Every structure is written in structure tokens, then in C-alpha cells.
């Protein structure tokens, strides 16, 4: 019972560290890192308790909290690197960088800039932007990358599915050609199945034509 209480104290202390404060970039990153530590501690405590009763719960909370904090800090730094490297592209609404959750980043590439209509060939003018993206991925090599293609609803569903797959593969192949290890990459298409705006307007269809790059910590992050 005492050991279980100690786990609660550990987690409560981490929650205190994660309490929101004034909103500035450094504080926001600190809060996200602390939040990762909290989630890691809770997960580690549950797993540890299942494996070795109360002592396992205490050890699991400590180890899980340290791993969660490390992951949060790593993703904070990678997010900042993307923001800095792709500042001009974001200003021109060509690429969007979004923190989906503590351990997941999403970069949205505008298909109008990256591909010609009905084509899966990357525009030469967009390759310098992909090079910037590649440089960040190369520096932060403890993350896995999933490239997902999307289309609007113009054309048949089957055709749009194939086009989305081809565009995702084209981006994945480009990243590989620039030195990103194939084992880190996965490409898939969603066709017209996940619109983020109405396909009834030209502006909505433009938003739906996109490629998303999801970046998350590798499965064995804590082991390296």
C-alpha cells in the first residue's frame, strides 16, 4: 500500500510540474515535456504493477516518467526545428506544422504547390522545401514517418485512391533518395475519404488535395 501511495505522489508531483502557466514558447514547451512525463509515469506504473506488483508500479512510474519526459523534449525540439526551417513555407501557406499530441507532429503539404493537376510527379520548385523537411528528419533520426496522400472528390473513388497512393509514395521516395532510411518510412493513400473541407467549393477541394507527413517517436525510443 505504501508503495502504491508513493506512485501517486510521484505522479502528482509530475502533474504539478505540468500545470499551465503564462503562454510563451519556452513555457509551452516545458509544459508539453512535463505532460509527457506524466503520461509516461502513469503508463509505466500500470505496466509495472501488472508485472511485479507494487514494487513494479513504483519502478515503472519512475522509468515511464523519465521516458515520457525524454520523448516530449525530443518532440519539442523537432517541432521547433520544423518551424524554423519551414518558416517561409508556412508564411506562404504551403506547409502547415501542427503538434497533434505530445508524441505526434503533422506537416500538411499543399498539393497545389507540390504537384501539378492529376499528377504524382513532385514539382521541381517544391523540392527545396522538401529538402528542408528532409534535413530536419535526418537530424532527428529517432522518429518514424508516415506519408499520407489525400484528394478531393472529383473523379472516381478508385482513381482518387490510386492517385493519393502515388503522391504519398512520391514524397516517401523523395525522402528516401535524400538519405532518410526506408525503415523509418511508410506511405499510404486515403483518396477522397478524409476531406477537411466541403468538396462543393473550389476552395474546399483545394484544401482536400494534400499530403500529410506524420512524425512520431520510434517504437524503441527508450532503448537507444
The CATH number of the domain holding residue 172 is 3.30.1330.60
Q: Is residue 122 part of a domain?
A: yes
Cβ neighbour number for residue 186 with a 10 Å cutoff = 14
Residues 64 and 96 in one domain: no
Same domain, 66 and 39: yes
Total domains, the chain: 2
In this structure, are 162 and 219 located in the same domain? Answer: yes
* 115 and 60 inside one domain: no
- Both 29 and 109 in a single domain? no
Tell me what pLDDT residue 82 has. Answer: 98
Q: In this structure, are 148 and 94 located in the same domain?
A: yes
User: Could you tell me if 14 and 53 lie in one domain?
Assistant: yes
Confidence at residue 69, expressed as pLDDT on a 0 to 100 scale: 84
Residues 189 and 108 in one domain: yes
Among 52, 73, 94, residue at a domain's last position: 73
pTM, two decimal places: 0.73
| Assigned domain for 196 exists | yes
pLDDT of residue 53: 52
Q: Is 114 inside a domain boundary?
A: yes
Closest CA to 167 of 149, 190, 187: 149
Q: Is there a single domain that holds both residue 105 and residue 56?
A: no
Note whether 211 and 180 are same-domain residues: yes
Same domain? 103 vs 212: yes
Provide the domain limits for residue 13.
2-73
Tell me what pLDDT residue 15 has: 46
The three cell numbers locating residue 163: 492517385
pLDDT tens for the 224 residues of the chain, in order: 544 444 444 444 544 454 444 445 555 555 555 555 555 544 544 444 444 555 554 444 444 455 678 898 999 999 999 999 999 999 999 999 999 999 999 999 998 899 998 999 999 999 999 999 999 999 999 999 999 999 999 999 999 999 999 999 999 999 999 999 999 999 999 999 999 999 999 999 999 999 999 999 998 875 55
Same domain, 110 and 218: yes
Cα–Cα distance between 63 and 59 in angstroms, integer? 6
Nearest to 151 by CA among 141, 165, 138: 165
Amino acid at each position: 500500500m505504501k508503495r502504491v501511495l508513493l506512485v501517486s505522489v510521484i505522479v502528482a508531483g509530475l502533474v504539478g510540474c505540468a500545470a499551465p502557466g503564462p503562454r510563451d514558447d519556452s513555457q509551452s514547451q516545458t509544459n508539453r515535456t512535463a505532460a509527457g512525463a506524466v503520461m509516461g509515469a502513469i503508463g509505466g506504473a500500470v505496466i509495472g504493477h501488472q508485472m511485479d506488483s507494487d514494487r513494479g508500479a513504483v519502478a515503472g512510474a519512475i522509468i515511464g516518467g523519465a521516458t515520457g519526459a525524454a520523448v516530449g523534449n525530443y518532440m519539442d525540439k523537432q517541432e521547433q526545428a520544423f518551424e524554423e526551417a519551414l518558416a517561409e513555407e508556412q508564411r506562404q501557406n504551403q506547409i502547415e506544422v501542427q503538434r497533434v499530441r505530445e508524441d505526434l507532429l503533422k506537416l500538411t503539404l499543399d498539393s497545389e504547390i507540390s504537384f501539378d493537376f492529376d499528377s504524382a510527379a513532385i514539382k521541381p520548385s517544391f523540392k527545396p522545401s522538401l529538402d528542408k523537411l528532409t534535413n530536419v528528419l535526418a537530424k532527428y533520426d529517432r522518429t518514424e514517418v508516415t506519408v499520407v496522400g489525400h484528394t478531393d472528390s472529383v473523379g472516381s473513388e478508385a482513381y482518387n485512391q490510386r492517385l493519393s497512393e502515388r503522391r504519398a509514395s512520391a514524397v516517401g521516395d523523395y525522402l528516401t533518395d535524400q538519405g532518410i532510411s526506408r525503415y523509418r518510412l511508410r506511405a499510404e493513400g486515403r483518396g477522397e475519404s478524409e476531406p477537411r473541407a466541403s468538396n462543393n467549393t473550389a476552395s474546399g477541394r483545394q484544401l482536400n488535395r494534400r499530403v500529410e507527413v506524420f512524425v512520431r517517436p520510434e517504437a524503441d525510443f527508450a532503448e537507444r
